[in-house]
A and B are shown apart, each in its own frame.
Chain A
Amino acid sequence: GQSLEQPSEVTAVEGAIVQINCTYQTSGFYGLSWYQQHDGGAPTFLSYNALDGLEETGRFSSFLSRSDSYGYLLLQELQMKDSASYFCAVSGLSGAGSYQLTFGKGTKLSVIP
């Protein structure tokens, strides 16, 4: 099976930097993704890491260490609009043998002035 752990809530100040960690246990690992979801909205894709290292996309960066089964999402220059839930998700094979994206429980980020 697959399981992911991430903090349930994080609060940070506007303009600051915040890191959301994710550890995972999985059988059959393709990569680690991050999704953002605003209240009442659909999840939207932020980043994907298949190999070790840092991927940067604007204010957002994502890191993966396959040997440590660990990754993080780094948000810089926080803005009020970044207040949302952030989900890490692992790509792999489900018990039924098909491709599956398994989500963590999500981290609710609150950005305060």
Chain B
Amino acid sequence: SAVISQKPSRDICQRGTSLTIQCQVDSQVTMMFWYRQQPGQSLTLIATANQGSEATYESGFVIDKFPISRPNLTFSTLTVSNMSPEDSSIYLCSVRLAGTYEQYFGPGTRLTVT
């Protein structure tokens, strides 16, 4: 199994500012992902965070808006840049352990942009 922590757990930010969310895993993992979830809605994959190389972004998400760092196999950050109210959401970090199809999720960061 994997235990994931995220910081901050929630934040209220002003329009036009940026927020960096941290994700820490208790073991080394190859595959790490960032998702977004509106309350009561489904989870949408933003990107796969690759260690040592640029993240792989899904359609509709770009690096300038959501820069991601992955300096090692236990840590990643997601930055939400130049925020607007439409960015208000829950952002979740997730990992998949090698040899399994089970994904573990962090507790999420609840972001509100005013």
Contact = CB atoms under 8 A, between A and B. Distances in A.
Given A98-B48, A98-B56, A99-B48, A50 B101 contact: yes
Contacts of A50: 101
Interface size class of B (residues with CB under 8 A): 20 to 34
Interface stretch (B12-20, B39-47, B73-81): B39-47
Interface in B69-109: 92, 96, 101-108
Contact of B92 (A42, A45, A95): A42
Contact of A104 (B42, B92, B107): B42
Nearest to B58: A94
A106 B44 CA distance: 12
Contacts of B105: 42-44
B48 A30 contact: no
A91 B43 contact: no
B94 to A, nearest CB: 8
Given A48-B101, A105-B42, A96 B108 contact: no
Contacts of B57: 96
Contacts of B104: 45
A12 interface: no
Contact of B107 (A42, A98, A101, A106): A42
10 residue pairs, one from A and one from B, having the closest CB atoms: A42-B105, A45-B102, A103-B43, A105-B42, A98-B56, A48-B101, A103-B42, A43-B105, A96-B56, A98-B48
Interface of B: 31, 33, 41-45, 48, 56-59, 92, 96, 101-108
